[in-house]
Amino acid sequence: MSAQTQARARELAARGAQELTEFVSIPSVSALDRHKADVGRAAEWLAARMRRAGIGDVELLATGGNPVVYGAVGPRSAPTVLVYGHYDVQPVDPESEWQTSPFAPTIRDGRLFGRGSSDDKGPIVCALAGIEALLATAPPDDVRLVFLFEGEEEIGSPSLPAFLHRERERFRSDLVISADGGMWRVSEPSLNVSSKGMCAVQVDVETAPSDLHSGRHGGAVPNALHCLAQVLAGLHDDTGRVAVPGFYDQVTTPTPAQRAEVAALPFREEDYRQEVGVDRLWGEPGYSTLERLWLRPTLDVVGMWGGFTQEGMKTIVPARAHAKISCRLVPDQDPEAIQRNLCAHLEASAPPGARVRATPIEGTARPYALPADYPPLLLAADVLERALGGTNLMVRMGGTLPAAELFQRELGAYTMFFSFSVADERYHAPNEFFRLDRIEPGALAWADLIARIGPTLRA
Amino acid sequence: MSAQTQARARELAARGAQELTEFVSIPSVSALDRHKADVGRAAEWLAARMRRAGIGDVELLATGGNPVVYGAVGPRSAPTVLVYGHYDVQPVDPESEWQTSPFAPTIRDGRLFGRGSSDDKGPIVCALAGIEALLATAPPDDVRLVFLFEGEEEIGSPSLPAFLHRERERFRSDLVISADGGMWRVSEPSLNVSSKGMCAVQVDVETAPSDLHSGRHGGAVPNALHCLAQVLAGLHDDTGRVAVPGFYDQVTTPTPAQRAEVAALPFREEDYRQEVGVDRLWGEPGYSTLERLWLRPTLDVVGMWGGFTQEGMKTIVPARAHAKISCRLVPDQDPEAIQRNLCAHLEASAPPGARVRATPIEGTARPYALPADYPPLLLAADVLERALGGTNLMVRMGGTLPAAELFQRELGAYTMFFSFSVADERYHAPNEFFRLDRIEPGALAWADLIARIGPTLRA
């Protein structure tokens, strides 16, 4: 990377905080219909930013759902890198726990607070600053870039598979570099080499045609909330192991080498416990916390509701209760099979007098892994060590990137996660933030990576 | 009761459907602040109706909460009957399950559908029609009537105790007749001789300072919903018996005579099961369904919520979960003691890693019972047999009338439930209704009861 490119990247990074403030101000919550127009505005904002970066052919492509923001630059004959990210964000609830309004970005102590600042708008700002710097100073002739920024990542990318299948020629590429993902910690650079799969299920319990007066019928008829509590309490055993029969059947047992690799990483369980702020850690026995997070499948109840939940009191025996459950999966678990099995288990565990219906929720993702000796991965490690200092760590991800498995299937390309957000930045939670001092190294790293990646894709 | 009184009662009853339509149209939901003005309108409507009935001194008395509608008629020297009822109603949710709008009363098959039609506005319309007929044709000189219609019954009458204590001279009476309560079934007349007590508790579970990303932390940290489900599932054992230690300690075991009395009533469990529409009955083993409803204490989870409960999916490990729990109590359970014991049990049953806080909800009620040989009760049975035909049944009530215990304490007077609603009229549930053909016998019975009650109060 030339001194000129570096200087330009620094200049552009200096505008990053202002840019990110604009981007985060747009409440592009894909899960809520009332934010439909905002999602569209975020796509338009991103398209304008890409055009300013010197990217060509920028346009919004219809997907049936929220649009994909597309662009391309570089010689058609060169190896192609697809740059991926998403401009949609998570819902903000519980909104009362935000110290400042989630869509009125606020900077405190060098951190920009706001929904989507870290997932995934800040990392996109880094990528575009770096790419603009490179295009403006030393446009590479050995790599072509195509861009795919989607607007449905936070709802499981429902439109992406059909869209990508239809558009597979346009997006044909040798490698996907994702601006989504995030580094393990702020103190050293890291690259994710695997991510978990996911599936989710909604469970609905019914015990009567409608709520009954608890004075008239309490103690004589089943209560849907009691029944749901029983079903949910039975999903784990007392030790924290998932108690759904067959759940672990297809799980690849971690090898001693994998376990040694994980054990060698600088991770103190007590530090982690304090950092997340819980009284004690929890989960499947027989594995370290990092092994549970990276190598073992998990099951969490994500939401639960039923009966009278407003102010005051209502004396009813509730007739209906509901919950949403999600599973994080590892090789070789098949998300659809796990989902089917979970639904069957839930329905079979209905207490007497309760009708339990379990329904798959759209948006499964397969578990995903990158070969340890993959040349672009080794280059990326070197780039990060130069940009951030320290030794790059190869880590794994408890999270899910449905897109990675999809790109593998549709494009035959691996996805490399190259994001400058950090795991502690409260993704999906109140008071999400992004560290503004990561914008400059982020921009420099993106410029350096794209400048040097061409040769690694020839093999 | 004279032929003239009867004729007048029939005339007034004929206007009952129109009157009830007006009254039910006012959404006097006491649990929700946004209906504050509507609650006031319902009080004004009722006061106007009472004045039209010939009741004197009608006014709205301030209570600190919603007003009491007061009135009085008859010689001050005569024995006094306090007529009680409530003009507030339950919330309507789940509103989507109403076939017609809850506050746009609709008549189908002789039933008036709407929130509050049966609990307690329909029965109040009956009482006032009967009393107006009697006052207009043969005003009694051997009984004085005072009226207390409150606007906070559905939220546990929080202002009534202090109000009644302050105003105990104004309301001094020998008997309370309640237009609240409701008959056991439509096919024969019945009088309630006991009602259950009540207490309620809110439980709040916290496992982390805020929700955590399930991809980052799932399987490593406690989940508030799992913890709450475990706590709630442990409130009953597998047989349906309440598993809170000490819950049954003060319960008076039903005598063989009481059990025989209950067993003699015309009640088929299978008919009841079909009527409420459940797949099977449920509850404490060792007792018949009617015994569970009338003679045994019960515990129900009334509402439960936490995590992501909107459309779509949010990948979190929820940090907080909540539930509301209510208990129906029998002699000699002390509601405050049961409430304290339940709170202590809930907090002690916190799973590792969860903080559980249990808070008493305002509005407890003591269990209540009327002597089997009480003269006004025997008169009321005769009145009902004349008005409705058939043999009057002495029944018990699973429901709670906090007011009855309060009147006993403050006024030293028994409360007799004399309501023309029926237990199947979906109190507190969607599609609540009142049978319009009960208005005429209701009005006749009130006129007859008041005409003949004076002598029974002299003893």
Q: For A226, which residue in chain B has the nearest alpha carbon?
A: B233
Report pLDDT for B156. 83
Confidence class for position B43, pLDDT limits 50, 70, 90 = very high
Give B56's strand partners.
B72
Domains of chain A: 3-195+367-457 (3.40.630.10), 197-251+297-365 (3.30.70.360)
Q: For A217, which residue in chain B has the nearest alpha carbon?
A: B293
Average pLDDT over residues A253-259: 88
Average pLDDT over residues B332-343: 96
Q: How far is the alpha carbon of B327 from chain A, nearest alpha carbon, in Å?
A: 9
Q: Across the interface, which of B31, B221, B283 has its CB nearest the CB of A276?
A: B221
Average pLDDT over residues A397-426: 88
Convert the pLDDT of each residue in A119-149 to its tens digit. 999 999 999 999 999 999 999 999 999 999 9
pLDDT at A459 > cutoff 70? no
Burial class (CB in 10 A: 0-12, 13-18, 19+), A370: buried
User: Do A300 and B306 count as a contact with CB atoms less than 8 A apart?
Assistant: no
CA dihedral A94, A97, A100, A101 (to 10 degrees): 10
User: Do A307 and B304 count as a contact with CB atoms less than 8 A apart?
Assistant: yes
Residues in chain A with CB shorter than 8 Å from the CB of B353 are 278-282
- SS3 assignment, position B10: helix
- SS3 assignment, position B167: coil
Give A437's strand partners.
none
Q: For A354, which residue in chain B has the nearest alpha carbon?
A: B279
Report pLDDT for B425. 95
Residues in chain B with CB shorter than 8 Å from the CB of A309 are 303-305, 322, 324
Average pLDDT for chain A: 95
A–B CB contacts, 8 A cutoff, strictly below: 355
Q: Across the interface, which of A216, A289, A400 has its CB nearest the CB of B215?
A: A400
Residues in chain B with CB shorter than 8 Å from the CB of A151 are none
Please choose, from the candidates A96, A274, A195, the residue with its C-alpha nearest in 3D space to the C-alpha of residue B221.
A274
- SS3 assignment, position B212: strand
Q: Are B173 and B108 in contact (CB under 8 A)?
A: no
Which residues 6+ apart lie within 8 Å of B235 measured at CB?
Answer: A226, B242, B243, B244, B299, B301, B325
User: Do A222 and B278 count as a contact with CB atoms less than 8 A apart?
Assistant: yes
User: Do A220 and B282 count as a contact with CB atoms less than 8 A apart?
Assistant: yes
Report pLDDT for A247. 98
Q: Across the interface, which of B207, B283, B427 has its CB nearest the CB of A213?
A: B427
CA dihedral A6, A7, A12, A18 (to 10 degrees): 120
Q: Strand B175-178's sheet: what is its strand order?
A: B56-61, B68-73, B144-150, B80-86, B175-178, B414-417
Q: How far is the alpha carbon of A25 from chain B, nearest alpha carbon, in Å?
A: 21
Residues in chain A with CB shorter than 8 Å from the CB of B197 are none
Q: How far is the alpha carbon of A83 from chain B, nearest alpha carbon, in Å?
A: 22
Residues in chain B with CB shorter than 8 Å from the CB of A210 are 97, 426, 429-431
Strands (E), B261-412: 298-307, 316-317, 320-329, 355-365, 368-369, 393-397
Convert the pLDDT of each residue in B103-141 to its tens digit. 999 999 999 999 999 999 999 999 999 999 999 999 999
Residues in chain A with CB shorter than 8 Å from the CB of B30 are 312
Report pLDDT for B41. 98
Q: Are A207 and A391 in contact (CB under 8 A)?
A: no
Token look-up 């999903």 returns A235
User: Do A217 and B314 count as a contact with CB atoms less than 8 A apart?
Assistant: no
pLDDT at A17 > cutoff 90? yes
The Cα–Cα gap between A256 and A295 comes to 12
Confidence class for position B211, pLDDT limits 50, 70, 90 = very high
Residues in chain B with CB shorter than 8 Å from the CB of A308 are 91, 93, 302-303, 324
pLDDT at B345 > cutoff 90? yes
pTM attached to this predicted model: 0.75
Report pLDDT for B459. 58
Average pLDDT over residues A355-374: 90
Region class of B312: left (phi > 0), else alpha (psi between -120 and 50), else beta: left
pLDDT at B400 > cutoff 80? no
Residues in chain B with CB shorter than 8 Å from the CB of A397 are 215
The Cα–Cα gap between B38 and B30 comes to 9
The Cα–Cα gap between A270 and B261 comes to 64
Tokens, residue A244:
């759904």
Please choose, from the candidates A307, A283, A287, the residue with its C-alpha nearest in 3D space to the C-alpha of residue A295.
A287
Average pLDDT over residues B98-107: 97
Convert the pLDDT of each residue in B12-29 to its tens digit. 999 999 999 999 999 999
pLDDT at B216 > cutoff 90? no
Angle between helices B16-24 and B36-52 (to 10 degrees): 160
Confidence class for position A222, pLDDT limits 50, 70, 90 = very high
Q: How far is CA B249 from CA A51, A219, B198, B224, in A?
A: 76, 18, 16, 31
Q: Which amino acid is at A402?
A: P
Q: Across the interface, which of B33, B233, B307 has its CB nearest the CB of A304?
A: B307
Average pLDDT over residues A52-58: 98
Average pLDDT over residues A163-168: 96
Average pLDDT over residues A198-214: 95
Report pLDDT for A363. 80
DSSP string, B22-70: HHHTS--BTT-GGGHHHHHHHHHHHHHHHHHTT-EEEEEEP-SSSPEEE
> Kindly report the CA angle at B254 between B373 and B184, in degrees rounded to 5?
60
The Cα–Cα gap between A28 and B417 comes to 57
Convert the pLDDT of each residue in B223-259 to its tens digit. 999 999 999 999 999 999 999 999 999 998 888 988 9
Judging by DSSP bridges, how do beta strands B414-417 and B175-178 pair with one another? parallel
Tokens, residue A216:
């008239």
